[in-house]
């Protein structure tokens, strides 16, 4: 069933259909195995890094991290040190943290506030919008053109209050890239949501091992038996695959009137439709941004490759009506509960990695309800360029007809 914008009757019908079906829909293709080497092969991972991660739209942080003109923070999550800064005019920009003289870093702390950037090596100075303004002993440079020595910019665009960056200067604009999902996300008024919390975890597995876990609910009955499985019915889950590797998964609550008791009394977003209120909707912006909204707060997760066998998970919360100076007393417990669920996934991942590296792992056998994982891998190959990938590591492109394009 094709579903783009969430509409209650169609969503309920989709859940009914999923619960009642006795097999995948007849038009659903057989999913070939995902080659195991994609999780361990060094050359493949290098290709993935260069051709996909270095050219993808990636969440860098929240505008609350840049409260004033001159506020900045440093992110290394994309594998390069990048400064995200609010300039004097209030615009959010991003630059490589790399001096145009001999490449020293312009900032060495994780965050700060300044009127410009002064290199700690020989003192070259830049404005907040990256222009070179002063060079020590300028007389010793021949024909130095300041205009050609600005800090190198990184693409930087906003989704509400969420700052995304992309190291590819030619990247498609963010909202156009997100496509049909962008319109649906408007109901969550992301521009009004404040940053409540952000923390990160290092995990001993390839980044895709964890990413995969957040693209399906097939594992609820095993990994989350005592937590999520008690209130979500994975058999009624339906999926929408969007272009560019993005997707949405809607998993019904076991009881439609169920409300998380740990959120009662917290400020809420008004005007949400029943679908996000009475179900678990999880959005995925390719490659690594996962967001399951509720009316009283939204956890956002990113998964970052560190090495072939290690990754970092960043978990943050954004919420309506949040006052950082006076946070709602329930946040601590709520974030603790969330962390408990997260740990259920994280604690298993290093052992999965160990198993994947054995000869016993020959590939992944995905089912219909795991198709978002296949969609992710297909997109990875399209971004890398199928012809660049060794034939035994490619995934066949089979889901094209399942993608909702408008």
**Phi, psi torsion values for 131, nearest 5 degrees:** -80, 140
Residue 289's binding partner among Fe ion, ligand FES, none (Cβ under 5 to 8 angstroms by kind) is none
Cα(98)–Cα(133) distance, rounded to whole angstroms? 15
* Helix (H), strand (E), coil (C) string for 250-318: EEEECCCCCCCHHHCCCCCCCCCCHHHHHEEEEEEECCCEEECCECCEEEEEEEEEEECCEEEEEEEEE
Note if the bond before 287 is cis, omega within 30 degrees. yes
301 interacts with ligand FES by CB under 6 A? no
Residue 62, helix vs strand vs coil: strand
Residue (108 or 307) nearer to ligand FES, CB: 108
Given a contact cutoff of 8 angstroms between Cβ atoms, the answer to whether 190 and 63 are in contact is no
119 interacts with ligand FES by CB under 6 A? yes
Residue 104's binding partner among Fe ion, ligand FES, none (Cβ under 5 to 8 angstroms by kind) is ligand FES
Tokens describing residue 385: 């360029």
For 163-229, the DSSP string reads EEEES-TTPPPHHHHHTHHHHHHGGG-GGGPEEEEEEEEEESS-HHHHHHHTT-STTHHHHTTTTGG
Closest distance of CB 348 from Fe ion, Å:
9
Residue 76's binding partner among Fe ion, ligand FES, none (Cβ under 5 to 8 angstroms by kind) is none
Residue 345's binding partner among ligand FES, Fe ion, none (Cβ under 5 to 8 angstroms by kind) is Fe ion
Given a contact cutoff of 8 angstroms between Cβ atoms, the answer to whether 307 and 40 are in contact is no
β 71-75/58-62 pair status: unpaired
Q: Which of 39, 44, 95, 124 binds ligand FES (CB under 6 A)?
A: 124
102 interacts with ligand FES by CB under 6 A? yes
Q: Which of 21, 122, 199, 230 binds ligand FES (CB under 6 A)?
A: 122
CA distances from 218 to 38, 129, 141, 221 (A): 21, 47, 63, 7
Closest distance of CB 69 from Fe ion, Å:
40
Residues 253-292 vs ligand FES: string with x where CB under 6 A? ----------------------------------------
Closest distance of CB 345 from Fe ion, Å:
4
Q: Please give the residue ranges that form the binding site for Fe ion (CB under 5 A).
A: 345
Closest distance of CB 341 from Fe ion, Å:
7
Tokens describing residue 377: 């891998």
| Helix, strand, coil abundance in the chain, percent, nearest 5 | 35, 25, 40
Q: Which of residues 80-99 bind ligand FES (CB under 6 A)?
A: 99
Closest distance of CB 126 from ligand FES, Å:
10
Residue 379's binding partner among ligand FES, Fe ion, none (Cβ under 5 to 8 angstroms by kind) is none
Q: Which of 54, 55, 101, 131 binds ligand FES (CB under 6 A)?
A: 101
Residue (103 or 385) nearer to ligand FES, CB: 103
Q: Which of 1, 114, 121, 390 binds ligand FES (CB under 6 A)?
A: 121
Q: Which residues bind ligand FES (CB under 6 A)?
A: 99, 101-102, 104, 119, 121-124
């Amino acid at each position: 069933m094709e579903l783009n914008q969430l509409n209650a009757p169609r969503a309920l019908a989709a859940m009914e259909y999923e619960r009642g079906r006795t097999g995948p829909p007849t038009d659903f293709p057989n999913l070939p195995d995902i080659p195991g080497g994609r999780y361990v092969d060094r050359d493949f991972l290098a290709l993935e890094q260069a051709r996909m991660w270095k050219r993808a739209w990636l969440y860098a942080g929240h505008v609350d991290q840049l409260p004033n003109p001159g506020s900045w923070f440093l992110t290394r999550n994309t594998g390069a040190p990048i400064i995200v800064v609010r300039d004097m005019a209030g615009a959010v920009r991003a630059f490589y943290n790399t001096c145009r003289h001999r490449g020293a870093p312009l900032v060495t702390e994780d965050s700060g506030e300044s009127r410009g950037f002064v290199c700690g090596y020989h003192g070259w100075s830049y404005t907040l919008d990256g222009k070179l303004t002063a060079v020590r002993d300028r007389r010793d440079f021949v024909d130095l053109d300041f205009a050609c020595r600005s800090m190198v910019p990184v693409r930087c665009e906003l989704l509400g209050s969420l700052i995304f960056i992309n190291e590819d200067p030619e990247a498609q604009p963010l909202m156009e890239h997100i496509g049909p999902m962008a319109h649906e996300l408007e109901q969550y008024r992301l521009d009004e949501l404040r940053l409540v919390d952000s923390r990160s975890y290092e995990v001993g597995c390839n980044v895709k091992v964890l990413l995969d876990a957040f693209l399906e609910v097939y594992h609820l009955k095993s990994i989350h038996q005592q937590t999520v499985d008690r209130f979500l019915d994975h058999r009624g889950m339906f999926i929408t695959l969007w272009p560019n590797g993005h997707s949405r998964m809607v998993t019904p609550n076991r009881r439609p009137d169920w409300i998380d008791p740990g959120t009662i009394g917290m400020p809420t977003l008004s005007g949400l439709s029943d679908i996000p209120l009475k179900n678990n909707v999880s959005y995925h912006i390719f490659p690594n941004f996962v967001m399951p909204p509720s009316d009283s707060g939204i956890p956002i997760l990113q998964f970052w490759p560190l090495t072939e066998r290690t990754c970092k998970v960043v978990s943050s919360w954004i919420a309506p009506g949040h006052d950082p100076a006076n946070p709602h007393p329930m946040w601590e417990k709520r974030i603790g509960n969330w962390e408990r669920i997260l740990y259920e996934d994280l604690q298993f991942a290093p052992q999965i990695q160990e198993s994947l590296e054995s000869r016993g792992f020959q590939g992944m056998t995905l089912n219909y309800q795991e198709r978002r994982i296949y969609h992710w891998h297909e997109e990875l190959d399209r971004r890398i360029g199928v012809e660049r990938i060794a034939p035994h590591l490619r995934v066949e492109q089979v889901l094209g007809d399942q993608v909702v394009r408008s």
